[in-house]
Homo-oligomer: A and B are copies of this chain.
């Protein structure tokens, strides 16, 4: 995927010259729109119209609604396996229609486009050599409630078409949320099986670490197969985050835990 690695006129920036399309581009959506309703479909229609032939993948359509902080810790984990050249459309945007700005961030060969509300903060923080642009472009017609369709999707299409981000470079240091922790010791997502994904990277723990959550102590298991029934455990999920699960049951209901539930680490010798 050499597209985004071509020499560019601005030092430290890596984007393709205007007008070049890379066959391997892919647009991945990360939103809290939910699966129901007409929102994702309208975004896709804009993308297909403006960047024909570029595949669109809905990676996360049910990020925790209006929860920018939890979503900010999901984003790097669930985008890290996307191929270089991927363009991530990121929308958790409770302030839509207000004064918040818009960003395009180039990190590890991928683009991230979304509101300047902290959603991209952990991607920026964790990437060396990140490039951040403040998007100044606005469409002729901009609804007050659906910038995903009217603003962010067209910007993603521009990038997929090899155009430069329509705005000016800004200093990344100012944009990361320094008040948010490196890892978030909270549940950030509950999946359809009732497993509780946390904002903590599994690389921060060892197999002797334990997680105390909702009054229960969870030891480490490599897989569901190794866990005895009904016993809560933690494991490194397929995207590198600590996940709390109960074999054959829902951790969500068995432990009564949901997004926002915090926990404590017990590091054993």
A interface residues (Cβ-Cβ under 8 A, vs B): 23-24, 26, 28, 33-39, 41-42, 44-45, 48-49, 52, 55, 57-62, 65, 78, 81-83, 86, 94-98, 143-146, 149-150, 189, 191-193, 222-226, 235, 237-239
- Min CB–CB distance A172 → chain B (angstroms): 26
When A145-B238, A191-B36, A223-B96 are in contact, do A55 and B60 touch as well, CB less than 8 Å? no
- Min CB–CB distance A253 → chain B (angstroms): 14
Residue of B65, B144, B150 near A222 (CB, 8 A) is B144
When A42-B78, A78-B42, A83-B45 are in contact, do A97 and B192 touch as well, CB less than 8 Å? no
Do B144 and A235 touch (CB < 8 A)? yes
Do B44 and A98 touch (CB < 8 A)? no
**Smallest Cβ-Cβ distance to A141: which chain B residue:** B81
- CB neighbours of A41 from chain B (8 A): 28, 57-61
Alpha-carbon distance A39/B58, docked complex (angstroms): 10
Do A48 and B55 touch (CB < 8 A)? yes
Alpha-carbon distance A55/B51, docked complex (angstroms): 11
Do B225 and A192 touch (CB < 8 A)? no
Alpha-carbon distance A88/B36, docked complex (angstroms): 18
Alpha-carbon distance A61/B211, docked complex (angstroms): 32
Do A59 and B45 touch (CB < 8 A)? yes
- CB neighbours of A146 from chain B (8 A): 237-238
- CB neighbours of A81 from chain B (8 A): 42, 45, 149
Residue of B24, B145, B224 near A235 (CB, 8 A) is B145
Do B26 and A238 touch (CB < 8 A)? no
- Min CB–CB distance A65 → chain B (angstroms): 7
**Smallest Cβ-Cβ distance to A29: which chain B residue:** B41
**Smallest Cβ-Cβ distance to A58: which chain B residue:** B41
Do A149 and B61 touch (CB < 8 A)? no
Query: Can you report 16 residue pairs joining A to B where beta carbons are below 8 Å apart?
Result: A24-B52, A35-B35, A35-B36, A36-B61, A36-B191, A41-B57, A41-B60, A44-B55, A48-B57, A65-B192, A96-B225, A97-B223, A144-B222, A144-B238, A145-B238, A146-B238
Q: Top 8 A-B pairs ranked by shortest CB distance?
A: A97-B223, A34-B192, A146-B238, A41-B59, A143-B238, A98-B225, A144-B223, A48-B55
Do B45 and A82 touch (CB < 8 A)? yes
**Smallest Cβ-Cβ distance to A223: which chain B residue:** B97
Alpha-carbon distance A146/B146, docked complex (angstroms): 34
- CB neighbours of A192 from chain B (8 A): 33-37, 65
